[in-house]
Amino acid sequence: MKKYLSIALGAIVGANLRLGISAVSSFMGFPFFLGTFLVNMSGAFIAGFIIHKIKSQAGHKSNFLMTGLLGSFTTFSMMTYEQYMLLSVGDYPTFLIYFAVNLAAGVLLASIGYRIGGRFK
């Protein structure tokens, strides 16, 4: 039961953080996909960092942070929907850039987060 409570609490925090970042991004007049991009890139970095810090630990900390918080904070489904929207309006250059940058930057930021996580003992 504690496992599910940890995940649920993390999900509440992550979803609200995501909503806040998306709302601020929209309010500032940025392109509709920038909020999702910022959330996913920061989530990739944080995931890399956390994975290094708790890779040998299982339990409530991992459930809260990785499954709950980052699972609800980052969003693959919204990213793919936004890519579809770019395609549907014929904005192929933006689609290709958004697609490639999401993939490359996500892996790069997760790797950087992992490396930085190893430097903090």
Residue 58 has pLDDT above 70, yes or no: no
On the 0-12 / 13-18 / 19+ scale of CB atoms within 10 A, 1 is exposed
Residue 61 has pLDDT above 80, yes or no: no
Q: pLDDT band for position 57 (50/70/90)?
A: low
Question: Rg of the chain's alpha carbons, rounded to an integer?
Answer: 16
Place of tokens 């890519």: 83
Domain that holds residue 51: 2-119
Question: What is the reported pLDDT for 119?
Answer: 83
Range with lowest mean pLDDT among 17-21, 27-31, 62-66? 62-66
Cβ atoms within 10 Å of 60's Cβ, excluding its own: 16
Question: What is the reported pLDDT for 121?
Answer: 63
How much of the chain exceeds pLDDT 70, in percent?
Answer: 94
DSSP classification of residue 64: I
What is the domain count for the chain? Answer: 1
Residue 7 has pLDDT above 80, yes or no: yes
